Chain A
Amino acid sequence: MYTILEKQILNDAVKLMVIEAPHVARKASAGQFVIVRIDDFGERVPLTIADFDRNAGTVTIIFQEVGKSTKHLGALNAGGKLATFAGPMGHPTEIKRYGTVICVAGGVGIAPVYPIAKALKEAGNNVISIIGARNKGLLFWEERIRTVSDELIVCTDDGSYGRKAVVTEPLKEILSAKNISHVWAIGPAIMMKFVSMLTKEFNVPTVVSLNTIMIDGTGMCGGCRVLLDEGAKFVCVDGPEFDGHKIDWDSLFSRQRIYLNEERIASERWEHICNLDKAVSGDNPVRNKSLNVDKDK
């Protein structure tokens, strides 16, 4: 079991947790991910590594509450335990001195972009960061990103904070004005697609970090496969970073939708259990054990 040492609420939907996991912390690098499983009934959820501290033996994860598992995770508190915390998985980001680079992050993608921007900055790159979200309430870590960037542009779709724009607008202006060697883009798949289409026009190499459906995270299931120009690749072991210009995005979008219905069922069931628990005990939501009998049968 792995202990949750700290929990922070970054905004309405996004939470941060620091997990005690020395075996992962000692090898973790920017760009890699972990597999988290809450309890014996839980699914294996891939989450990118937002930060790590080798000396303290801790790994920081940041997640947006979208489905049952992330809502359940968000309901846990410091001192709580996780059944599985495995990793680090995937290849680390290739960090070297590229010149001037742009790190584009959308929504919860701000979290995994932070260690990459930090490592790029430490390697001597001139780092321009663009972070965006639908509205002000969904932004976080602005100051943190600023400390590892030479220039930071913040935008919101609705203009409630920073510039009223989607991230591709400032990106296009910078690409037109400056000589950029490399772009990283992490966020919703649709954002990564549009960033990649734009940078292709400017012929700037672009790395995206994919978060597809996967189970084990070690190359065993193949559920995470994406189509590239050269054929199918596994996100878990060949990625999670890929050349954004080579990805068949439409295939990726359709594969992301496979389990939408089941996600809705699980999420509604979770809300229902939480409501029951609240009605019965007034406590924080915990999984109603009475619904999960004879677990090893």
Chain B
Amino acid sequence: MTKQERMKIPRQEMPLLDELIRRGNFEEVSLGLPEALAVKEAERCLQCKKPKCVEGCPVGVLIPQFIKALREGDINESIRVMKIKNNLPAVCGRVCPQENQCEGNCILGKTGEPLAIGRLERYIGDYELRRRTCPMVKPHDTGKKVAVVGSGPAGIACAVDLGREGHKVTIFESLHSAGGVLIYGIPEFRLPKPVVHSEIDYAVQCLGIEIKTDHIIGRTITLDELLEEYDAIFIGTGAGLPNFMKIPGINYSGVMSANEFLTRINLMKAYRFPEYDTPVRIGGRIAVIGAGNVAMDSARCAVRLQKSMGMKSGEVHVIYRRSCDEVPARLEEFHHAEEEGIIFDFLTIPVEIFGDIDGNVTEIKCIRIKLGDADASGRKKPVPLANSEFTIDVDTVIMALGTSPNPVVFTNNANLRRTNKGTVVADNETGRTSRERLWAGGDVVTGSATVISAMGAGKRAAADINRFLREGDVKK
């Protein structure tokens, strides 16, 4: 096939669950490419000599190689190539913001639609979940022990790479289920939980990794105690502490963090109450504050809950202080949210929440703003408009304003350097912290970011820990 012929093939669309049907359930929305479409999509790749897509990938997946193997019909080779760099393709294919990473760099995007790299990654990831053709093998035991704190994307990526090097890895998880934000944060309709369980279980079984749930590092065991028992520690505890707006009224009943809302639904399965014991209470008029991925997840869960509770006239608003051009969520999630009937109030900032005599939230007062000059972060600064106050009647307010690292893990660890935002100071390339034998990576270092950037940090730290365990002096 010539280059021109390849460029004539249109980008293959992924089948979606009907937007009216999906509003009433938690089934996965994007259904994945069937084989014929996946191979056709793979034919579009121009196999660049200097692939820009790889530069855009935080873990450096060998993209042209896995796509070449796929279109040549050697899917097992395609999976093998993928797993050199990425052990969770079925997860990443679903949740990575590809438009800002690999696909954003794709040369096809200059003149037309970029290659659907994420969809192809998901295709081979799902294939591997069903067939298990490419097991990871644990090499000879090195006799070195590593503790990984947190079983989210950073911790799992780090643990798997260390396991593949033959180190004995133990993961400590505070909740009852491994996966971190993949389990408690990202909803079923975007990332089905069996996919997460299956990817994690498979990796840890192959590599003999132990996962200790119900262990809260800082309370059950401290970092100092772990240092006595293990040769190295990786902290990948994420950013789990929800931020609330500093406005009056946040303690009214019906005001909650997106973390609470999503944890009830995803980890505790509240959408199946009373079959599952944990309930979630929402009303017919919901405001979600913020417009990142967590806000989209919350708003889309809210629509589904309203429908499944039989509400006929439910309304879900997303209140965001910037415009639709600045929405930080993954593009696909923003589009899906719009399709599902979510109302976007852009250029709007809440200033106060009101409640009734029983303490239940009743309305939220907002002001309109315009975007001014760019601030230090390069984003346009919201400027309030005079006399623009208005209120929205609400019975539920969900705050999705980002999260900070949970300080519990650092109990009695004053000498570990952290920023005034509570994040750990760690080298970007190696993950080394101010304390010897202690590495950190993912949201606990960067503040809330993406699954794949956390995985990248976990992998870079694993490489450095491996160097240290093989070459450095282990016990001082």
State the A residues within 8 Å of B (CB).
23-24, 27, 37, 41-44, 68-69, 83-89, 215-216, 218-223, 225-227, 232, 237, 248, 250-251, 253-255, 257-259, 261-263, 265-266, 269, 291-292, 296
Contacts and interface: CB of A to CB of B under 8 A. Distances in A.
Contacts of A216: 174-175, 184, 263, 267
Given A254-B252, A266-B273, A296-B197, 13 more contacts: A43-B276, A83-B176, A88-B220, A216-B263, A220-B242, A220-B263, A221-B256, A221-B259, A222-B256, A222-B257, A222-B259, A261-B281, A263-B279
A221 B260 contact: yes
Interface stretch (B55-63, B162-170, B211-219, B437-445): B211-219
B277 A266 contact: yes
B251 interface: yes
A14 B32 CA distance: 52
A269 B276 CA distance: 11
Nearest to A39: B277
Contact of A44 (B250, B256, B268, B358): B268
A42 B177 CA distance: 13
B172 to A, nearest CB: 10
Contact of B275 (A41, A85, A223, A257): A41
- Indicate the member of A68, A222, A237 with the most B CB atoms within 10 Å: A222
B253 interface: yes
Given A23-B215, A88-B220, A227-B251, A68 B259 contact: no
Contacts of B118: none
A117 B408 CA distance: 26
A260 B466 CA distance: 52
Contact of B253 (A27, A254, A292): A254
Contacts of B257: 221-223
B260 A222 contact: yes
A219 B220 contact: no
Interface in B204-261: 212-216, 219-221, 240-242, 244, 250-254, 256-257, 259-260
B253 A255 contact: yes
Given A215-B264, A220-B184, A222-B259, A86 B176 contact: yes
- Indicate the member of A86, A88, A220, A227 with the most B CB atoms within 10 Å: A220
B281 A258 contact: yes
Interface string B107-119: 0000000000000
19 contacts: A23-B220, A41-B275, A43-B278, A68-B277, A84-B176, A85-B214, A86-B216, A88-B220, A218-B216, A220-B184, A220-B240, A220-B242, A220-B259, A222-B242, A222-B257, A223-B256, A237-B407, A253-B359, A262-B273
Contacts of B252: 254
Contacts of B269: 41
Contacts of A69: 277
Contacts of A265: 274, 279
A43 B214 CA distance: 14
B260 A262 contact: no
Contacts of B360: 254
Query: SS class of chain B's interface: helix, strand, loop or mixed?
Result: loop
B285 interface: no
B278 A257 contact: no
B194 interface: yes
B170 to A, nearest CB: 13
B193 interface: yes
A3 to B, nearest CB: 14
B108 to A, nearest CB: 38
A27 B220 contact: yes
Given A27-B220, A259-B279, A218 B260 contact: no
Nearest to B188: A297
Contacts of A85: 214
Contacts of A254: 252-253, 358-360
B406 interface: yes
Given A215-B260, A218-B408, A232-B250, A84 B242 contact: no
Contacts of A215: 260, 263-264, 267-268, 278
A41 to B, nearest CB: 5
Nearest to B246: A231
Nearest to A262: B279
Q: Which 10 A-B pairs have the closest CB atoms?
A: A254-B359, A262-B279, A221-B260, A86-B214, A43-B277, A43-B278, A222-B257, A84-B176, A220-B240, A223-B260
A254 to B, nearest CB: 3
Contacts of B241: 219-220, 222
- Indicate the member of B219, B267, B273 with the most A CB atoms within 10 Å: B219
Given A37-B176, A258-B281, A296 B193 contact: yes
B408 A219 contact: yes
Interface string B333-370: 00000000000000000000000001110000000000
